[in-house]
Structure 1
Amino acid sequence: MAKNVLVVYAHQSPGSFNAAVKDAAVEALTTQGCTVKVSDLYAMKFKATATAEDIIGEVENAEHFCYAKETKRAWEEGKLSADITEEQCKLTEADLIIFQFPMYWFTVPAIMKGWLDRVLTLGFAHSHEKRYSQGLFKDKKAMLSFTTGSHESMFSANGINGDMNVTLWPLQNGILHYCGFQVLAPQIFWAPCYVPSEARNTMLEGWRTRLQGLLAEEPLSFTPLDCFDGEKGFQLRPEFHEKHASNEFGLAVGIHLGKPLPPNNQMKAGV
């Protein structure tokens, strides 16, 4: 059971629906005995750009600056900037991380992307040896909770925005699962700005209900790292390919084996 929760929150207005969703999570999880911390990125004026300023003192190679290598060294030597170190401490303590945001251009807002870029440094959050199912955060859970500017029908397999499962793959697999997190199914609030207040209240009640059992939820399923051959470009091992050859659907949204995408692979656990 998660006892320490970190909510990474990105919205400019305390009167927003996102703020109400964040507040509902804080209240419900605190009531369950959790210690909840909130990183309110706009209120913190969190720096979104990953630059050499994130390193205290001289960088190793200013002429050919490589952010990943330089911040790894800085992390090892305790020379990352204070704002990054503070967030890394919160993340280290947390058992569950909830990212709360309005979806911008099919992804997270720039300030939250900056948090991901700057806080999840090489060495601290991931490495070549420790990633995906063997990742450094494999004992932690994480989830996306967000609002959209389009109705659910527009994010369907036949909708103009395309399948939301495809939209979520880079965020949930490429960032969260890459760092080892057990990824809980996302909480999606479809187009709250285009529905009546009664519908928004219903959305919030549904979220409060989910929060009662959130700590015990099963995570989404991802193909384990050892199913891939590292000596052959991390391709799916032949025995696993053969095992799934007769299946109607691929393994996941991204690892689809040339087959139809498995329905709701990034939306619901156990699907």
Structure 2
Amino acid sequence: MNVLIITAHPEADSFNSYLAAKAARVFEKQGSVVNSVNLYSENFEPVEGKIFYPDRQDSVRFDALREQRHHWEKKILPDDVSRHIQLLINSDLLLLHFPFWWFGMPAILKGWMDRVFVYGGIYDSRQRHENGVMKGKRALLSVTAGAPENACGYNGRHGDMRLMLWSPIHALHYIGYSMLEPYLIHGVRGGLDGIAKKEQQKLLDEKVEDFENRLTNIHEWPIIPFNREDDFNEDKTLKPEAPEYSPFVRHDPDGWKKS
């Protein structure tokens, strides 16, 4: 199996980065080929823009999708984008390791998607969702948060962390990935000492062991269900008889208020 690990944490000595390194060792021990990319270490530029497209089809108005498709077809995308696309294509499993910042992923990772998920190459109007370019591949989010688990639950003060990860989960499924349930670790905080630090370390050690064990048996990892194309009408609305898998795609627009 070919595994690609993308890390989006600015501190190489962070727990999140440590977890990514652990994942790499688990798969290497199993005989997999592992490629690891740290977006911060590479100084990846996350801001999409006209500067990356030297052979513009329209020199006046910048249309990102149009230029992405054109430069993909011409094989003149930026070197870093081309390399990352090839890594994605060559891998069977993608792991994204990142901290939960301001109720979402770091800007560098969103920018990575903006630039690397190029229109015409990674997706188009015919290759999306269950028919996406990455069909048959799996992806997993490994996310750390400073807040305690109770605060990040469905009834927690900070809101449901699992639901807030819909954006990257849906984006990856949009280009064809089968999405594994994200692995969430809470209470990852610095500045602790004494008993609090020892208790945190014990919890994190247990989480690392659990993470390694689950990666070893990743074929048993639960897969997130999504609606398929035939669940929707021609106008792209959900058919009345279709199942609901998410509060983001539902029958009753006020259903979330009743739960």
TM-score, length basis structure 1: 0.86
Q: Structure 2 stretches of 5 or more lacking a match?
A: 191-198
Give the alignment partner of residue 99 of structure 2, picking from 91, 102, 113.
102
Q: Tell me if the contact between 1:165 and 1:253 (Cα under 8 Å) persists in the aligned partners.
A: no
Give the alignment partner of residue 45 of structure 1, picking from 43, 46, 49.
43
Give the counterpart letter for 2:141 in structure 1: L
Q: Distance in 2 between matches of 1:188 and 1:218?
A: 14
1:84 partner SS: helix
Q: Distance in 2 between matches of 1:127 and 1:33?
A: 34
Deviation at 1:216, TM superposition (A): 4.4
Give the counterpart letter for 1:179 in structure 2: I
Q: 2:5 maps to which residue?
A: 7
Deviation at 1:123, TM superposition (A): 1.4
Give the alignment partner of residue 64 of structure 1, picking from 47, 61, 65.
61
Deviation at 1:156, TM superposition (A): 1.8
Q: 2:238 maps to which residue?
A: 236
| 1:18 and 2:33 are equivalent in the alignment | no
Deviation at 1:212, TM superposition (A): 0.8
Runs of 4+ in 1 over 3 A off after TM superposition: none
Give the alignment partner of residue 31 of structure 2, picking from 33, 36, 57.
33
Q: Distance in 1 between matches of 2:74 and 2:55?
A: 12
Q: 2:122 maps to which residue?
A: 125
Report how many aligned residue pairs link the two structures: 248
Q: Distance in 1 between matches of 2:146 and 2:135?
A: 32
**Residue 158 and residue 217 in structure 1: after superposition, are their counterparts in 2 closer, same or farther (change >3 A)?**
closer
**Residue 81 and residue 190 in structure 1: after superposition, are their counterparts in 2 closer, same or farther (change >3 A)?**
same
Greater shift, 32-41 or 216-225, is seen at: 216-225
Within-5 A mapping of 1:66-215: 66-173=63-170, 175-193=171-189, 196-215=200-219
Q: Distance in 2 between matches of 1:166 and 1:217?
A: 19
Deviation at 1:78, TM superposition (A): 0.4
1:243-263 per-residue CA deviation (whole Å, 9 max, x = no partner) reads 65xxxxx432212222459x9
Q: Distance in 2 between matches of 1:165 and 1:111?
A: 20
Q: Distance in 1 between matches of 2:112 and 2:158?
A: 26
Q: Tell me if the contact between 1:251 and 1:257 (Cα under 8 Å) persists in the aligned partners.
A: no
Q: Tell me if the contact between 2:4 and 2:88 (Cα under 8 Å) persists in the aligned partners.
A: yes
Q: Tell me if the contact between 2:16 and 2:144 (Cα under 8 Å) persists in the aligned partners.
A: yes
The two structures, once aligned, show a CA RMSD in angstroms of: 1.8
Percent identical among aligned pairs is: 28
| 1:254 and 2:252 are equivalent in the alignment | no
